[in-house]
Structure formats: C-alpha cells, structure tokens
Amino acid sequence: MNTASTADSADHRALREMLGAFALGRLDDRERTAVQAHLDGCADCRAELDEIAPVVAALAGLDADRVHAPAAPPPELGENILASVRTATRERNRSRWVRRAGGGALIAAALVGVFVLGVNVRPVVPAAPPVIALQLQDVASGVQADAGLVRHTWGTELKLQASGLAAGGAYTVTFVREDGGTVPGGTFLGTGTATLTCSMNGALPLDDTAEVQITDAAGVVVMDAVVA
C-alpha cells in the first residue's frame, strides 16, 4: 500500500534521514536493504536521492592533497542539521525541493564527518518531471478522481486524487501493455468521502503503457484510462 499517510510515518522519516548515508555507501547490509526497499515504493525519497547524488559525486571527486585540514564542526551541528531536515519534510509545496538541495549538501557533509574548506560545491537541482494528465473512463458511481502519469527511468508513476471510494476498501492499480500483458502497480485503501492522494508505481516504461486500470477487491473496474 502506498498512500499520502505513509509520508508522515516515523518509519518513513527515519528512512529518509538515511538517504545521505545510503548515497555515500556508509550503511550496513541490513540498513542498505531497508532503504532500497523503501525507495522502490516512495517517489518522494527517490527524488530527494536524485538531489543528493550530485553532491556526493562532487565530494568524491575532491583532491585531498589540495585541501587544507578540515575544521572540526561544532558539537550541536548534527542536531541542528537533523532539525532542519525534519522541518523541511513537513512542507508540501514545490519550493520545498529547491530549499532542500542545500539541506542535502549539509547532510552529505555531516555524514562524511567533515566540512571541506575552500571548495564551493554547487549541486544542480533537477527539474521535476512533468505530469501527463489522464482522461479517466468507466468511473464508478459516486467516485470523483483526477489522475496523471509521470515518466521515470525505472518505469511509470501514477499520481491519483480520488474521493468516494469505499473507506478501508482495497483497490489495485494495474498497468497494461500494448499486447495486453499486465504489470502490477500496487494496492491502496479507499477513504470514503475524504480525498486521498497517492502515487503508485509500475515497472513498465511510459511508452509501453497502453492503459491503466483500478479495480476493487472483487476485481470490478472502478476507474480506467487509455494512455494516448
């Protein structure tokens, strides 16, 4: 299951704070496996990892012989950084990603354990990929929904906002190929009259996706969209 409430869980925040160490290769096997499993289902954390990656690459390419001995960071620095990151994760507007680029640089430097003096690292903030609107068809009675697809290198992401789906009912997303083959996109729970917002992912390139279906627990189609 992948819903908006997941992004606010304690486990999600703990795994997000491990992204810097993951990018630097500083996690043990158990931690690395946990973070990788979380990334497979969390588009927000994959986007944040993409922002951290240029910083890690820049730090890895530094010539230690040309840099003066680093200054020891103040003892309260780690807690200040973590507090800033926790505050940033509560923001929901698009400008959050721009501000967090600087936070990502601080996380990477803190996990390495040094600040490199005299080096001006300017990571490139990637633009958010566009959302391609979907025209939903066969929408079940009483259901209101908007949906769109996002192209990724690893597959296709479905962004969905909907209300009127039975509260607590399980709904399954399926990505359909041109030849009729299917790729699972995960399961989420309905929220009744409240609006749910979720991102579901399928390991199928957008160019190979012909249709997206959402079915209830009985296999009845409640939403369907043909990809133009």
124 domain-assigned: no
Distance of CA 190 to the CA centre of its chain: 21
Strand order of the β-sheet with 221-226 is: 136-137, 221-226, 209-215, 170-177, 182-189
pLDDT of residue 196: 95
Could you give the angle at which helices 29-41 and 43-60 cross, rounded to 10 degrees?
130
Of 61, 81, 112, at which residue does a domain stop?
112
CA dist., res. 116 & res. 9, Å (int): 34
CB 197 within 8 A of CB 92: no
121 domain-assigned: no
119 domain-assigned: no
Q: Which helix (H) or strand (E) holds 102?
A: helix 95-112
**Do 12 and 85 lie in a common domain?**
yes
120 domain-assigned: no
**Do 100 and 184 lie in a common domain?**
no
17 domain-assigned: yes
141 domain-assigned: yes
Distance of CA 178 to the CA centre of its chain: 27
**Do 101 and 142 lie in a common domain?**
no
Q: Between the CA of residue 221 and those of 138, 159, 215, what are the distances in Å?
A: 8, 18, 4
118 domain-assigned: no
**Do 11 and 96 lie in a common domain?**
yes
Domain that holds residue 165: 131-226
**Do 149 and 209 lie in a common domain?**
yes
**Do 139 and 192 lie in a common domain?**
yes
Secondary structure (3-state) at 48: helix
**Do 136 and 95 lie in a common domain?**
no
The structural domain count of the chain equals 2
In 18-43, which positions are buried (b, 16+ CB within 10 angstroms) versus exposed (e)?
bbbbbbbeebeeeeeebbeebbeebb
From first to last of the 228 residues of the chain, give the pLDDT tens digit.
444 444 457 888 888 888 888 888 888 989 889 889 888 888 888 888 888 877 777 666 665 565 555 566 777 766 777 667 666 666 655 555 445 545 555 555 555 554 444 555 566 677 888 999 999 988 999 999 999 999 999 999 999 999 999 999 999 999 999 999 999 999 999 999 999 999 999 999 999 999 999 999 999 999 999 998
What is the CATH classification number for the domain harbouring 185? 2.60.40
**Do 95 and 10 lie in a common domain?**
yes
Secondary structure (3-state) at 211: strand
**Do 12 and 51 lie in a common domain?**
yes
**Do 103 and 136 lie in a common domain?**
no
Of 84, 112, 140, at which residue does a domain stop?
112
Of 58, 79, 112, at which residue does a domain stop?
112
105 domain-assigned: yes
**Do 164 and 108 lie in a common domain?**
no
**Do 96 and 185 lie in a common domain?**
no
